[in-house]
Structure 1
């Protein structure tokens, strides 16, 4: 600033002349929105959508970090407590979504369904029902109608009544149901037959059973046991994870974590095996450096078995993904895929090990 310049002339030359707020506007800026105001309702609805869409716990709205975030975004908004969201906001959002879906389903002439029974992490039983239909724009639609708590005995008669009630609660006529897809559980199969509904087997479940059957070889069972122990050794030890990362860097291997198998998903078993084979050298180096875990390092026989298994299952992984789509009618893929399995994918080749040939010979049984 020049010696002869005054503060006022300096602000004028820069064009930054602050404007003093009026008393009214100052009070408005700190006055909370009315609960009935559009702005307050819009934000509350957005928070409700966030909780539902991302499946966040209701306690989120009472956490200091989340409340501070909301306050910074709009200081005039007062965030309700979890009781309001659980008793009012979320039920209202559910009713709006349900009403919209019910209106869409009224125009559906024919539909198919998928149902499954499963247990939560706390071993609580649930039944899910999903509807598949073609809308007025000739687009295939899939909507999960419900995942309902099902504490009753899972007898065929009770399951049959549960499916009937589920359709009725959405105003869906059994006469308009083309078919229902389920797994091969004896109770659900009988439940569907009691209703005289057309039933399709779940290809993914059939594939899982076929692959499970091909894994009963004692050599595979031993190698799988070793594989699981290796993964556990790294999963429960931060030191082993750290050493694995360092060794991966030294050996120029991908910085990938080991994968844990899920017993009900054959694809996770395949992924676990493939990752162990990818990181074989790093795993062996880390385990061998510790006398307590040296015995866990897979032997060359175990590696041979895992490679045989992986070679047989590799092609099936791609088909599983293709047959799990919701934007196309996957049942139309089945016959071409099964033909491809038997004529090309699962045909033994010259460099296959005997174990790989055995697995390939068993897998086509999924079409039976």
Structure 2
């Protein structure tokens, strides 16, 4: 009998081999792989778990692949936890195999809608290739009250769980009173002989947070000097019609309207820096509008602009140094003293 060839068309997919080469292979639907990829997508983009139960998602998935079976939020949660367990074991193996010591940074976060407190714990270390590595170990819910004892227990449990309590070099935290009280309690739970110089160099204060406190104290003293500028910005960004009027006036004065006015948040000094930087570009626009617009009754004095220019220059230096201190791809401890000296000399001039 004549042998008949299977003339059905196969779907080919583009896959990569271990050496990075592209290969074409027949596609085979694998429900386990699809569910894992779905879980990874939810993790990557921080989608809510309930999206898998939305009718729109179910219809889209059925259209894309009829063999896909919808899953519940509990099922996808289980897949996510399985991924977490696998990645945790990988990270533990990396930390155990690493021959250098480990530094820790930790801080508290508050969710905006539930007002719950969470502790983020991140480790930093130098691998055998002399490259700096960072891993987020935990994002722990910490029940109230957030006392030093409560934070100490949560952090110590994390260190023990990941088996890194004997490889620590330092811990960097914000310069607040609770953290100051937490560190001695944590040292009592650790074996000081496992720490560098018996733990005398264990506590490191966040450089960026120190600069933040310095700027806030300075703005509390001279902040009233820019109040008329802040009020003027508030007036001209209050409605779309006023924004349009401000933009038209800038064009009439041949001033490029490249950046929109932004109102600062008094508790965030970097937003004050952005507000002043942009407002100074439109100094003549504010002056023109104070003459033309009867409802705009805020007169910004020349002394206000001079103070704003000086303040903006100083805040620019603080902003650039803070950005450098906040880097995650390079060490920052070795440059702290140099840049703090630069700030000191700049403020003395």
Q: Which interval holds the TM-score relative to the shorter structure?
A: 0.7 to 0.9
2:195 matched to which residue of 1? Answer: none
Q: Which moved more, 1:57-66 or 1:160-169?
A: 57-66
1:272 matched to which residue of 2? Answer: 275
Secondary structure at the aligned position of 2:220 is classed as coil
Q: Could you list the per-position Cα deviations for residues 72-113 of structure 1 after superposition, in whole angstroms to 9, with x for gaps in the alignment?
A: 7x3446373561565233223322322222221222341010
2:97 matched to which residue of 1? Answer: 107
1:241 matched to which residue of 2? Answer: 243
Q: Could you list the per-position Cα deviations for residues 17-57 of structure 1 after superposition, in whole angstroms to 9, with x for gaps in the alignment?
A: xxxxx9x889x9xxxxxxxx754444433333232222233
2:210 matched to which residue of 1? Answer: 206
Contact 1:245/1:255 (8 A) holds in 2: no
Paired with 2:290 and 2:212, the residues of 1 have a C-alpha distance of 32
Structure 2 residue aligned with 1:125, among 88, 96, 117?
117
- CA distance 1:85–1:274, change in 2 (3 Å): farther
Q: Which moved more, 1:47-56 or 1:322-331?
A: 47-56
Structure 1 residue aligned with 2:264, among 234, 245, 261?
261
Q: CA deviation at 1:188?
A: 0.9
* 1:92 has 2:82 as partner: yes
Q: CA deviation at 1:169?
A: 1.9
Contact 1:288/1:297 (8 A) holds in 2: no
1:11 matched to which residue of 2? Answer: none
Structure 2 residue aligned with 1:144, among 133, 136, 150?
136
Contact 2:142/2:150 (8 A) holds in 1: no
2:25 matched to which residue of 1? Answer: none
Larger Cα Rg: Structure 1 or Structure 2? Answer: 1
Q: Could you list the per-position Cα deviations for residues 145-195 of structure 1 after superposition, in whole angstroms to 9, with x for gaps in the alignment?
A: 12211123122222222211121122222x321110111111111110223
**Does 1 or 2 have the higher relative contact order (CA < 8 Å, sep 6+)?**
1
- CA distance 1:298–1:97, change in 2 (3 Å): farther
Question: For residues 1-368 of structure 1, what are the structure 2 equivalents within 5 Å?
Answer: 38-61=29-52, 74-76=64-66, 78=68, 80-81=70-71, 83-84=73-74, 86-109=76-99, 110-122=101-113, 123-173=115-165, 175-196=166-187, 197=199, 198-217=202-221, 220-233=222-235, 236-250=238-252, 251-262=254-265, 265-282=268-285, 291-292=294-295, 294-296=296-298, 298-343=300-345, 345-348=346-349
Q: CA deviation at 1:60?
A: 4.4
Paired with 1:311 and 1:95, the residues of 2 have a C-alpha distance of 49
Contact 1:44/1:79 (8 A) holds in 2: no
- CA distance 1:66–1:261, change in 2 (3 Å): farther
Contact 1:61/1:79 (8 A) holds in 2: no
What's the TM-score once normalised by structure 1's chain length?
A: 0.72
Gaps of 5+ in 1: 1-21, 29-36, 349-368
Aligned CA-pair RMSD: 3.3
Contact 1:58/1:85 (8 A) holds in 2: no
- CA distance 1:100–1:222, change in 2 (3 Å): same
Q: CA deviation at 1:132?
A: 0.7
Contact 1:112/1:133 (8 A) holds in 2: yes
Size of the aligned set, in residue pairs, is: 312
Paired with 1:79 and 1:287, the residues of 2 have a C-alpha distance of 65
Contact 1:312/1:346 (8 A) holds in 2: yes
